[in-house]
């Protein structure tokens, strides 16, 4: 941040009149004119910064700095160097900015100037020197707190948290986000406090260094402050992210409530709406509320399809099929598993797939990608039911591979012939041993997280 103005110029001692009084008078008049010019350039530079015109701001602050060199006024020169340095950083020239910032207040005294420490942190961060940046941000945060400037302290702690994230120190990041939330709350910026606490809780969960009770306390406080957020897009993102975090904590009723609050806020954004619908359906699956889940699965699948998100649509079909299978609507479940299979084939994301098995139906096993990827999949045996079990030799089926990330999506491997095989049967396997889950939780568009 650039300085809001020049140091106070009042109270300067007047020079004593000498014999060449006219020359002295002329010099003072010239100095006053220069100071007026500096004030004008500085004000214009700040206006340009507020309008997002960093080029014009840089031009104005250069003029001010050049004018300041004409007068013997150290405080003015340092103020102009500070503004010019901040403008260079804003313009994407952090090294030049750093050089001018160091001229602004050299020595120990500069360590006690909060705005200077903040801008030094911004410059080092732009130069990807995270350790130096964090040191300056920490010093600035302490100075802002001593001055009672909660807003600036909160902004600085958010910057400090981002440095911790780049260093992959999730615990320190969570603590800095939490401190930012507290600072914003004290300053009355309750919407910013809610967003900071949301980030704090998410990274507390990621770090693994905090108890569930501590994390829930932060999320509860975040929800209480969320009523102060007026922007619908921001509020929708907050509820969606909280829904994901509650899902990771296995607090699925709370997750469902967050997604339900996000639902009306996402109506104007089709892609976001599709994600919220998909997550709601997945959470209801986990709660065994399959009837409630059906409409969410169908709407999400249709919306993803209209948006061309074929892979996401396949996941929705898979979740829908599982819900239908639990309601014993096996025929429709099988159809949706086949839709899911086709979606993954279209995106080239699956191997040889056998979906849900329904009596008296013919399935086609088709090889999409030869070989088995090593992404932590586990092999489990098939359990067959009925008197007429399929023959391994006839079907060329040796085992079933289960993808943890594709719940209840079974991968059949043709071990003898890696070619498409069509089979018919009357009785087939009913389940696989081992625990499986049916749900996929999506934190943001383009990313997803399996809940179990």
- Condensed to tens digits (0 to 9), the pLDDT of residues 127-157 reads 999 999 999 999 999 999 999 999 999 999 9
Residue 302: its pLDDT value, please?
Answer: 95
User: Phi and psi of 292, rounded to 5°?
Assistant: -70, -30
> Which of 44, 70, 104 is the endpoint of a domain?
104
| Owning domain of residue 414 | 362-441
Number of domains in the chain: 2
Residue 174 included in any domain: no
Write out pLDDT tens, residues 335-358.
Answer: 999 999 999 988 886 534 444 343
Any domain includes 128:
no
Confidence of residue 52 (pLDDT cuts 50, 70, 90): confident
Cα torsion 432, 309, 277, 306: sign: negative
pLDDT band at 269 (very low <50, low <70, confident <90, very high): very high
Within a domain: 332: no
Lowest mean pLDDT among 31-40, 244-253, 372-381, 405-414: 372-381
Establish if 223 belongs to a structural domain.
no
Q: What is the mean pLDDT of residues 325-336?
A: 93
Q: Kindly state the tokens that stand for 330.
A: 């096996």
Q: Is residue 429 in a domain?
A: yes
* Domain finish residue from 83, 104, 125: 104
How crowded is residue 224: how many other Cβ atoms within 10 Å of its Cβ?
12
Collapsed DSSP state (helix, strand, coil) of residue 363: strand
For residue 365, what pLDDT is reported?
Answer: 36
Whether residue 313 is contained in a domain is answered as: no
CATH number at residue 2: 1.25.40.10
The residue among 117, 49, 114 whose CA lies nearest residue 87 is: 49
Q: Once rounded to an integer, what is the mean pLDDT over residues 415-423?
A: 29
Last residue of a domain, one of 54, 76, 104: 104
Nearest of 411, 405, 412, 408 to residue 435 by alpha carbon: 408
Within-domain flag for 330: no
Q: How many helices (H) and strands (E) does the chain have?
A: 17, 9
Average pLDDT of the chain to the nearest whole number = 76
- 211 in a domain, yes or no? no
């Amino acid at each position: 941040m650039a300085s809001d103005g020049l140091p106070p110029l009042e109270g300067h001692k007047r020079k004593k009149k000498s014999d060449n009084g006219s020359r002295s008078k002329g010099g003072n008049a010239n100095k006053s004119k220069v100071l007026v010019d500096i004030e004008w350039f500085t004000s214009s530079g700040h206006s340009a910064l507020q309008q997002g015109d960093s080029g014009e701001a840089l031009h104005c602050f250069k003029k001010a700095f050049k004018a300041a060199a004409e007068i013997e006024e150290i405080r003015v020169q340092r103020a102009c160097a500070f503004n010019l340095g901040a403008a260079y950083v804003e313009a994407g020239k952090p090294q030049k900015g750093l050089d001018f910032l160091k001229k602004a207040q050299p020595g120990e005294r500069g360590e006690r100037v909060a705005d200077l420490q903040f801008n030094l942190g911004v410059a080092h961060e732009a130069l990807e020197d995270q350790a130096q940046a964090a040191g300056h941000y920490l010093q600035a945060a302490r100075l802002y707190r001593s001055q009672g400037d909660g807003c600036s302290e909160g902004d600085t702690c958010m910057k400090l948290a981002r440095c911790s994230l780049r260093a992959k120190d999730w615990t320190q990041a969570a603590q800095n986000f939490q401190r930012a939330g507290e600072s914003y709350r004290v300053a009355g910026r309750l919407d910013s406090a809610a967003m900071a606490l949301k980030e704090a809780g998410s990274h507390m969960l990621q770090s693994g260094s905090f108890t569930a009770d501590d994390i829930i306390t932060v999320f509860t406080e975040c929800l209480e402050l969320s009523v102060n957020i007026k922007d619908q897009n921001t509020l929708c993102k907050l509820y969606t992210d909280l829904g994901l975090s509650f899902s990771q904590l296995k607090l699925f009723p709370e997750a469902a409530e967050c997604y339900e609050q996000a639902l009306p806020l996402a109506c104007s954004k089709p892609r976001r709406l599709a994600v919220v619908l998909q997550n709601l359906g997945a959470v209801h699956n986990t709660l065994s509320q399959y009837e409630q889940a059906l409409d969410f699965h169908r709407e999400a699948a249709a919306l993803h399809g209209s948006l061309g998100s074929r892979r996401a649509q396949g996941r929705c079909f898979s979740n829908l099929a599982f819900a239908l299978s639990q309601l014993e609507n096996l025929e429709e479940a099988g159809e949706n598993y086949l839709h899911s299979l086709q979606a993954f084939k279209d995106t080239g994301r699956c191997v040889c797939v056998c979906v849900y098995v329904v009596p008296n139906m013919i399935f086609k096993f088709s090889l999409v990608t030869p070989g088995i990827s090593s992404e932590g999949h586990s092999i489990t045996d098939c359990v067959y039911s009925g008197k007429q079990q399929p023959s391994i030799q006839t079907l060329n089926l040796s085992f079933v591979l289960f993808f943890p990330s594709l719940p209840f999506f079974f991968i059949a491997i043709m071990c003898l012939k890696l070619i498409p095989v069509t089979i018919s049967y009357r009785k087939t396997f009913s389940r696989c041993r081992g625990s499986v889950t049916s749900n996929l939780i999506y934190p943001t568009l383009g990313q997803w997280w399996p809940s179990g």
